[in-house]
Structure 1
């Protein structure tokens, strides 16, 4: 990679540790959101209800730690390196969710994790991402991608409002992934400003946009976790869309580079396919736990009962 070793020795561990914190946060928040009534999308009342749940507060602490570590990683590494590493939040979330439910991840979960890590390692080795600038490129390059991201987020929200109930949560997850990726891209600029001095961060508009876009994405994620029966399918969409948006921002807005060539591109496609297969395997397994290992029949009935109570407007408490 075209990065100095000291920078990589900070960026990579920070990104993976941040992904672990985000995995814990997702598992804790997903479980806590099932204990409060279901409200309207993006209604702040949900956060007020969740603030009374100790498990959700643990998730918030993990979120803050994860964002801090992500900010450190973005300060020392390119978006094209840091954002794909955050895909590892999905296996971390699966492990923490199993721990909170009193069960152990099975062999299929471990296999999906290994496939994700192998595909991600191959992708980074082939791409050899190089850092660009800590500033957004001037000119018209900002507008086309901004419009595209806005349309994708709106399409996700429309999907969640119009399609049948079982799949509408995926529309919320799509919109969440867009907001998360956009937040990460702008945090890259904020991280660069912090390395110049904390006073510099208040002189650029990116910090203030992050303070708006970030909370919107977070609230959407809570809506997503609450309305999805299990965490893995929706989190798989979020953790796939988030780095894709981050990579697009790195290339279009911050002049980051990656290796090219027919052989490299073919290898990157295969590596990306492996990541998708690993994520799909984790999603399927978390959606279809083995009854002998997890007692899924009782757990699924319990989750259905909580969901029905929440839809009726009455708190579903564990």
Structure 2
């Protein structure tokens, strides 16, 4: 595959796909505010949302984005495509600001850029290689426990931490669910390629995906509903998702990443950038949320 093909096909597909994801997220963030809040993982929320035509349209936009992501990955390497897809955070922030009739906040944009840049740097340094689509026989329990504990801790943080800091907890849990879904979908796709349409139905992987995937999507809608602003939620989800998927690829599917001391040091810096970006987004969103609440209170009294 020539470099020209990558530039002509993969890059535009990834960028337009990122714009599609960003637009869908902005719409969903707005529409979820129009339905009653429910308990975590309650499917009642989807029943309320599906009666909103604009929300149904956003699902079509997600499908377009996923299709373009597949095209981009078919013609370009992961280390190029994934960082471009993470720009959905910037597109989403721009669309959300436009829908709300306000200007895009530069501090939120900086936080989103730190997340996207940190993830891009991590992937470029790690250079994940291999196309693992089968379990290697390596123990799955350690990583499973780590992800399970991370989800539990994140949901507890979402329950007890105030404001946007609690929203970050929900977003982390959503990112883990999405990352597990993406990692296991590689296995399902491999089973389909080798055994045909029926083959995946004979393995447990497909059934786990059918449970974890919808749970992650439902949790994402609840994350958008709770967050006053969209940028922190989307930035955290799009950062955690590929990291969890990469961990599954390396730990369970035999993929590899660069791990020399210099590379590990660079990856640590990239991780610090991502954490810093998330902290900037959460703090700034909390500040803007207080300002908006104060403005609404003054308008109601006025």
TM-score, length basis structure 2: 0.80
Q: Partner of 1:250: helix, strand, or coil?
A: helix
Q: Partner of 2:66: helix, strand, or coil?
A: helix
Provide the C-alpha distance between the structure 2 equivalents of 1:200 and 1:6, rounded to a whole number of angstroms.
36
Q: Indicate how the Cα distance of structure 1 residues 282 and 153 shifts in structure 2: closer, same or farther if over 3 A, else same.
A: closer
- Do the aligned partners of 1:84 and 1:243 also contact (CA within 8 Å) in 2? no
1:212 is aligned to: 211
Q: How many residues align?
A: 296
Which region of structure 1 is more displaced relative to structure 2, 73-82 or 209-218? 73-82
Q: Indicate how the Cα distance of structure 1 residues 159 and 277 shifts in structure 2: closer, same or farther if over 3 A, else same.
A: closer
> What is the deviation of 1:32?
0.3
2:221 is aligned to: 222
Structure 2: stretches of 5+ with no match in the other structure: none
- Do the aligned partners of 1:25 and 1:60 also contact (CA within 8 Å) in 2? yes
Provide the C-alpha distance between the structure 2 equivalents of 1:7 and 1:245, rounded to a whole number of angstroms.
29
Structure 1: stretches of 5+ with no match in the other structure: 291-295, 306-318
2:168 is aligned to: 170
> What is the deviation of 1:216?
0.6
> What is the deviation of 1:282?
4.8
Provide the C-alpha distance between the structure 2 equivalents of 1:192 and 1:209, rounded to a whole number of angstroms.
16
> What is the deviation of 1:60?
1.4
- Do the aligned partners of 2:179 and 2:244 also contact (CA within 8 Å) in 1? yes
Provide the C-alpha distance between the structure 2 equivalents of 1:230 and 1:97, rounded to a whole number of angstroms.
8
Q: Deviations over 1:141-162 (max 9, x none)?
A: 222211221222222233334x
- 1:1-318 → structure 2 map (5 Å cutoff): 14-71=13-70, 86-112=85-111, 114-139=113-138, 141-161=139-159, 163-166=160-163, 167-196=165-194, 197-285=196-284, 288=287, 297=292, 301=296
Q: Indicate how the Cα distance of structure 1 residues 216 and 83 shifts in structure 2: closer, same or farther if over 3 A, else same.
A: farther
Q: Indicate how the Cα distance of structure 1 residues 171 and 284 shifts in structure 2: closer, same or farther if over 3 A, else same.
A: closer
Q: Indicate how the Cα distance of structure 1 residues 107 and 150 shifts in structure 2: closer, same or farther if over 3 A, else same.
A: closer
Q: Partner of 1:52: helix, strand, or coil?
A: coil
Q: Partner of 1:38: helix, strand, or coil?
A: coil
> What is the deviation of 1:189?
2.0
Provide the C-alpha distance between the structure 1 equivalents of 2:69 and 2:117, rounded to a whole number of angstroms.
21
> What is the deviation of 1:35?
0.7
- Do the aligned partners of 1:132 and 1:257 also contact (CA within 8 Å) in 2? no
Q: Indicate how the Cα distance of structure 1 residues 28 and 164 shifts in structure 2: closer, same or farther if over 3 A, else same.
A: same
